[in-house]
Structure 1
């Protein structure tokens, strides 16, 4: 079975260059805003719907700053702030939640009401945003030769034996040519698919009859599970406790928060709560 040979997606308009990653991130936030606003309108929460442009802007800034800060802390390289790569999801998630919380409180709105709907939008945006990782060729997996195995000769970084060995701690047999491009798991596609599954689950429960925040708790649960699973296939060099990566440990923490939220905000009967 021959591996897929991946090349980055780039759109050029004269002197302007738009990468597939940049386009995917842009569309992720656009789709998240559309999903959230429509759900708020369906619920009759017009004030929350009207606040979404400001909240999405806060999420965008928080995501960029948080993702880069997390990456710099992880690598210990301050110059990474100015590189094109190095956007880590959990760092972006934490940064976005923090800045969105401040924005929502400034507008004197309910954080849990908004978070309840935003979980759906985040899942939709995540599924779209992960296509950008595929487009640019980063966040790929460990060596793999099965179905959909992919080589990233122009990835960020390329999936060569040298990169896999030096940056991700992958061990190769003696005599391996370090310039060889290695076929790997296309984990970006796995995450895109699981993102759509997360969205479908949350969309299915959007008319729940529990207290505000319950659905955001569900998001935390499915997001924690998704990240925990995919990390087993990712090319990583930060395995810490019992072979789990930093992202898996954070995923377990997010999942735990979700379980607590779901338990605390569950209401046994009655219409959709508005308190």
Structure 2
């Protein structure tokens, strides 16, 4: 199997030679796809552990959750891909479990991770919404990094485009020819939709990190993650040529639209019904009124009145313990 690709961005005058294989261990290829995804996952864990106690979550509990959620998320991502792309596998079990060359659907991984986190929180008696708020910025950061694995594999691209950053490669051309779509010219540049989603996810990450020092309702970071990621995925998915379908619908685009609407409604409802639920501590970040004293650890006074929240937010700007 040829693992080397020449990727061109004709209008930018750029050309890259990319080998899908990073190196070999005892003649076993180690792919860049796996390395890139593992890098995003590793950074998400490191940053999550670094900030877990600021959300009232013990680092040991956060580590335990990773051990459960990570494999279940991978399984969920694979099941999602296989179910909605069954014709590719025809019941071949060896092909189904072979994820080394790709075939992971992020929504399957997200659903698996959220369900695992929910039951983990129940068992450990942890507030699920605080757990979700902690992890959301880093989950989307991992997604932003992981999308570059699609670039190496030359997958997750879109239809033809005349935009300056349109790309072309041998793998892209071969795939488009296999579609036999008269509306697509395999020899012309296509949308690098992996890049669009990566940039969008980086933007969502930066917003969540910024908003984390300002939000007032538990779960809001998670809700905004689901909303904003859904909005981006909905329009980007519409450009792709390799979408997974449920009947005539792009399943990931449909889920993205539904999630965007549902979580936008949840944000509005929570703001109207949860006033005063969350307070902000300048030294340590968001905490609940009921456990603010414990989280603050006597480093500074917690503002427990809603009218003092803005004051404490202003004070946080001079704090030396800035969260990444």
Map of 1:265 onto structure 2: 270
Change over 3 Å in CA distance of 1:237–1:190 after alignment to 2: closer
Range with greater deviation from structure 2 (61-70 or 75-84): 75-84
TM-score, length-normalised on structure 1?
0.83
Q: Is the 8 A contact 1:3 1:150 kept in 2?
A: no
Q: 1:228 aligns with which of 225, 234, 237?
A: 234
Aligned partner of 1:189 in structure 2 is: 195
- Greater Rg over alpha carbons, structure: 2
1:7 equivalent to 2:18? Answer: yes
Structure-to-structure mapping, 1:153-168, within 5 angstroms: 153=170, 158-160=171-173, 163-167=175-179
1:18 is paired with a residue whose SS is strand
After TM superposition, list the pairs within 5 Å mapping 1:32-111 onto structure 2: 32-43=44-55, 45-47=56-58, 49-76=59-86, 77=89, 78-79=91-92, 80-83=95-98, 84-111=101-128
Is the partner of 2:212 in helix, strand or coil?
coil
In the alignment, is residue 246 of structure 1 matched against residue 257 of structure 2? Answer: no
CA positional deviation for 1:248? 1.1
2:30 is aligned with 1:21: no
Measure, in 1, the Cα distance between the counterparts of 2:85 and 2:158: 19
TM-fit CA distance, 1:181? 5.0
In structure 1, stretches of 5+ residues that fail to align are none
Contact 1:3–1:149 (CA<8 Å) still a contact in 2?
no
Distance 1:258 1:147 in 2: 35
CA contact (8 A) 2:154 2:172 kept: no
Structure 1 window deviating more from structure 2 (194-203 vs 231-240): it is 231-240
Q: Measure, in 1, the Cα distance between the counterparts of 2:249 and 2:214.
A: 34
**Counterpart in the other structure of 1:170:** 181
Question: How many Å separate the matches in 1 of 2:264 and 2:62?
Answer: 26
Equivalent pair of 1:142/1:235 in contact (CA under 8 Å) = yes
**TM-score scaled by length of structure 2:** 0.72
The Cα RMSD (Å) is 2.6
Other-structure match for 2:135: 118
Residues 237 and 55 (structure 1), Cα distance of their counterparts in 2 relative to 1, 3 Å cut:
closer
Aligned to 1:148: 165
User: Which secondary structure state, in structure 1, belongs to the residue aligned with residue 23 of structure 2?
Assistant: strand
Structure 2 segments unaligned to the other structure (5+ residues): 1-10, 281-286, 291-324
Provide the C-alpha distance between the structure 2 equivalents of 1:190 and 1:100, rounded to a whole number of angstroms: 28
Q: SS state of the match for residue 30, structure 2?
A: strand
Q: Report the structure, 1 or 2, having the larger strand content.
A: 2
Tell me by how many angstroms 1:119 deviates.
1.0
Q: Which of 1 and 2 has higher RCO (CA within 8 Å, sep 6+)?
A: 1
Does structure 1 conserve the Cα–Cα contact (< 8 Å) formed by 2:57 and 2:126?
A: no
